[in-house]
Amino acid sequence: MKLIVIEGIDGSGKTTLAQRIGKLLSSKFRVVVTQEPFTEDIKQLLEKYKWKDQVLLALLFSADRRIHVEWMRQQSADLVISDRYFFSTIAYQSVGVDETWLEQLSSVFPRPDMTILLDVPVEVALKRLESKRDTLDFAEKRESLEIVRQNYLKLARKYDFKILDGTLSIDRLTSISIELVQNLLPSSTSLASPGT
């Protein structure tokens, strides 16, 4: 099983890209598209504790991930595409928690075979998210996403992510990603173009 992870700030287009790649590759491979947070239990706890305590968040997301990784293993897939993984914990929770501790906490999880970072300016992401209700006000969100974006760019250098310009069209991003992912998979007959 190959594990591909898509990371980026809220509204960077991760879910859209994961679904598009998954759909295209499923004509040739057993593909599972999934996302974090994964379990309903964790989502309820996140709401209950109001997203404030970053240590608690790191522990909750990691517990959720432990369950998620075991579930991934049980899928017998050729390819698992996960919308967020432990890099999200490092990028987001390091706003309030020591990064080294977060890396140690995350070291129990398998390293992905490839991580794609969808990098977008915060203003673009916020525009895309305008319709979504949120607990943070816009100014607070802008400020925190700016830090998270920089954290991701740092992680990209350290962990050798593929950085894609998330402001490109979804068709273009899909083509680029398919090419990257195909290099990891057996036999490289090319697939249909993204629009089909």
Ligand X SMILES: Nc1ncnc2c1ncn2[C@@H]1O[C@H](COP(=O)(O)OP(=O)(O)OP(=O)(O)O)[C@@H](O)[C@H]1O
Contact residues for ligand X, defined by CB under 6 A: 8, 10-16, 128-129, 169-170, 173
| Chain residue whose CB lies nearest ligand X | 13
Residues facing 194 on adjacent strands: none
- Which CB atom, from 14 or from 69, has the smaller least distance to ligand X? 14
Q: Is 9 annotated as a binding residue?
A: yes
DSSP symbol at 8: -
| Minimum CB–partner distance for residue 62 and ligand X (Å) | 19
Helix (H/G/I), strand (E/B), else coil: 101: helix
For the chain, state the CA radius of gyration.
16
CA distance 192 to 109: 33
Q: Is 4 annotated as a binding residue?
A: no
Residues facing 153 on adjacent strands: none
Q: Is 195 annotated as a binding residue?
A: no
What length does the chain have? 196
36 binds ligand LXEULUCI (CB under 6 A): yes
Q: Is 14 annotated as a binding residue?
A: yes
Q: Spell out the residues 6+ positions from residue 116 whose beta carbon is closer than 8 angstroms to its own.
A: 4, 5, 6, 7, 17, 161, 162, 164, 177, 180
- Which CB atom, from 166 or from 182, has the smaller least distance to ligand LXEULUCI? 166
Name the binder of 8 from ligand LXEULUCI, ligand X, none, CB < 5-8 A by kind. Answer: ligand X
Instruction: Give the footprint of ligand LXEULUCI on this chain (CB under 6 A).
Output: 10, 36-37, 57, 61, 84, 88-89, 92-93
